[in-house]
Amino acid sequence: MKLRLKAPATSANLGPGFDVFGLALMEPYDIVEAERISDKHVEIEVLEGYPVPTKPEENTGGYAALKMIEDFGLSEGVRLRIRKGIRPGSGLGSSAATAAAAAYAVNELFNLGLSSEELVRYAALGELVSAGAPHLDNVAPAIYGGFVMVSQEPRLRIYSMEPPPDLGVVVALPDVEKGSTRRAREVIPREVPLRSLVHNVAKASILAAGIALKNINMIREGMNDAVVEPARARAGIIPEYEGVKRLGEELDAGIAVSGAGPAVICVIEKSRRNVAAEALKKFYESRGYRVQLYITEPGPGVAVIG
């Protein structure tokens, strides 16, 4: 049996929801072909797209698959052939997509019967390889689809919700080197002032309620972070941060850093996506950055497509 899977890009944080909120996107995505091999090992090949490590221990998907083979005492292994459409280090959950696809594939190929939550746990092990910290706000939406909220203490809880049907997304990915997610996490303050906590709780509540109530105005109002984004911008990880936030206000759109950046996610009515895309392109290009744009919308989690 050979599976062909589509694994979505995901945008984590959405402003105030650091390590908690995540959104699966329709584009960009990876395609992963997976099949069983008689050797109890993981083989990885990148057929096209962006390069990623092919040693299983160094690849987020390879690592997740190895752990599953070990934990379930499988006598066979898996071959993963990746068409990498999500740029690594973009802030669009590239490593999470591979990890989610691998966990999903092993579960299907060996009929393990794992729940979505268990798949998230395995995919998260893969994330550890790349980020060095167990954050689930990319792998959870990559498995569940739509908008998710993750709580890890005292035990893992994942809640998923369908975003409003008229919610459009534009992703702008400026052509800069972010460096590692690991480093982007090192620059975050260990302690936050009470007023920043109050700000973020208010905004995160408004955003989550906006998803539940299918209210785009509330969602964009909620995409406002007083802690993590400003710290990363100060560390030089998010180019043109203040300017792009101002652009969000001018466009009456929600703009937030996507995950650890450098991509930004813009949330706006579907009917106004082209206007936002044009403005974002002009914004970055006029400041000397080449920029890649995705005019998209929320999408499903990893799934078999053939």
Dihedral, 268, 269, 275, 280 alpha carbons, nearest 10: 20
Q: What are the angstrom distances between the C-alpha of 133 and each of 10, 24, 129, 232?
A: 17, 20, 8, 17
Q: List the interface residues with ligand HSE, window 132-161 (CB under 6 A).
A: 135, 137-138
Quick check: 94 and 180 in contact, CB under 8 A? no
Here's the x/- map for ligand HSE, 238-277, by CB under 6 A: it reads as ---------------------xx-----------------
DSSP assignment string, 161-210 = EPPPTTEEEEEEEES-----HHHHHHTS-SS--HHHHHHHHHHHHHHHHH
CB of 81 to ligand HSE, least distance (A): 25
Q: What are the angstrom distances between the C-alpha of 201 and each of 110, 148, 162, 227, 279?
A: 42, 17, 21, 11, 30
CB of 93 to ligand HSE, least distance (A): 6
Q: List the interface residues with ligand HSE, window 3-32 (CB under 6 A).
A: 12-13, 18-19
Using rule CB under 6 A, residue 200 touches ligand HSE: no
Nearer to ligand HSE, 182 or 282 (CB): 182
CB of 211 to ligand HSE, least distance (A): 18
Nearer to ligand HSE, 109 or 265 (CB): 265
Taking each continuous run of H as one helix and of E as one strand, the counts in the chain are 10, 11
Instruction: Indicate the residue whose CB is closest to ligand HSE.
Output: 259
Contacting residues for 192 by C-beta, under 8 A, at least 6 apart: 227
Contacting residues for 115 by C-beta, under 8 A, at least 6 apart: none
Nearer to ligand HSE, 18 or 284 (CB): 18
CB of 184 to ligand HSE, least distance (A): 6
Q: List the interface residues with ligand HSE, window 27-66 (CB under 6 A).
A: none
Please give the distance of CA 266 from its chain centroid, rounded to a whole number. Answer: 14
Using rule CB under 6 A, residue 94 touches ligand HSE: no
Q: Please list the active-site residues.
A: 127, 181
Query: Which parts of this chain interact with ligand HSE (CB under 6 A)?
Result: 12-13, 18-19, 91, 135, 137-138, 181, 184-185, 259-260
